[in-house]
Every structure is written in C-alpha cells, then in structure tokens.
Amino acid sequence: MILPRPLFISCIKGYIASIGFFEKHILNLDYEIVGMHHLPARKPYLIASKHQSAWETMKLYYHLDDPAFILKRELLWVPVWGWVAMKVNFIPVNRDKGGSSLRALLKASEKAIADKRSILIFPQGTRTAPGTRAPYKIGIAALYSYLKVPVVPIAVNSGLFWPKNSFIKRPGKITIEILPLIPAGLPKDDFMKRLERDIETATDRLEKTALSH
C-alpha cells in the first residue's frame, strides 16, 4: 500500500471497472444510474443509500467523488478489503461502544466534511433483502443534525440480481436511483420520516419494475 492515495484510488476504480466488464459480458448483468442531476454541484453532503448487496458498495464508490463510507469496524479485519478501506480513509464504527462510538463517528465525519469529502452511510446499518424492511438507525439522524449538510437519498434494486450471501448472480439490469435532495435543517423526526419514505417508496417501485420484465 505504498502508492500515493490518488493513484491508489485510480487503481481501485480500474479494478471495479474490470468487474463491471465481467458482469456485463459474462453474467449478462448491466446497470443504470438515474437522477445524477440530483447530486449537488458542490460538496460536501451526506449520501444515504439503501443497501441490498455488496454490489452497490463498489458501484457507488466508482461513480461518486471520493466518498467517505461509514462501515462497521469488523470489516477492517477482512483481508484486502480492510486494507483498502483504511487506505481510502473510510470511517469505521464500533457498534458495541454505544455513545462513545457515536461521538467518534461524529468527530471523524466532521473531519471528512472539512476535507470536502461527502459521507456515504447505509442508514439501516445492514443489507436488507428485497421486499423486507429494517428500521432506520439513529446514526443518520445524528450526522444530519450535527453536520448541518443536505442529504442525498439513494434507492437500489440490486438484491434481486446480486443477492446477499449467495454465489448466484442473475442476469438483468440493476437500477441505482439518486433521489431529490433533502435540505439541511429539518427537525429530526421530519427528516427521518422523509428519508425512509423517499428511499423505501423508490426501492419498492424499482423492485416491482424489475420483476415485471
């Protein structure tokens, strides 16, 4: 890991692009991104994405401009992946430490924002299978209130094609939909209701559309 960080990021994106070539030409699995115009012209901001698969982790990193992913600390222990996450300055969270973990998250996120990096979080904290619901965690609300930046919600239907904990990959077209911006400064409860409504409504629509083809 002696490469300068910008060159290392270029290598990682090249690797992700090679996986995309394999997906398209071997697995017959394509994808589209809609709503790119909803991304603010100026950083930083929060990105809150639905999480159904490891697939969108790669693709979002590839298409976004050096986002700081928030991830559970245990992932740093995964060979290769953990080293990559540390090299690109992702933000690990120790979910066993409660309040101290949240304070550390806010401090690290504040530094990323000061460095003009947007922060990407999966607000449910885990991958959810298509058609299922999981609660939205307090972490996203804490970040929103503390950092005072807008939030870009993202919906996906990747779990239909690249299921969690399965070697089976299905042909078709995955959709990532970038949704309209949620402005900074909303009351916490209003923000959480809007975030969940926007992401879940769009995700349900993407899943139904994919299943109808």
Segment 143-187, tens digit of pLDDT: 999 999 999 999 999 999 999 888 889 999 999 999 999 999 999
Q: What is the DSSP letter of 28?
A: -
Q: In terms of pTM, does the model score above 0.85?
A: yes
Beta bridge partners of 153: 48
Q: What is the CATH number of the domain that holds 123?
A: 3.40.1130.10
Number of domains forming the structure of the chain: 1
pLDDT attached to residue 74: 76
Q: Range of 180's domain?
A: 5-211
Backbone angles phi, psi at 39, to 5 degrees: -70, 130
pLDDT attached to residue 1: 53
Lowest average pLDDT, out of 49-53, 96-100, 127-131, goes to 96-100
Residue 209 pLDDT class (50, 70, 90 cuts): very high
49-55-57 Cα angle (round to 5) = 50
Residue 80 pLDDT class (50, 70, 90 cuts): confident
pLDDT attached to residue 42: 82
Alpha carbon distance 104, 111 (integer Å): 11
Residue range 65-72: mean pLDDT, rounded? 92
> For residues 139 and 97, is the Cβ–Cβ distance under 8 A?
no
Q: Is 52 exposed, middle or buried (0-12, 13-18, 19+ CB in 10 A)?
A: buried
Higher pLDDT, 164 or 200: 200
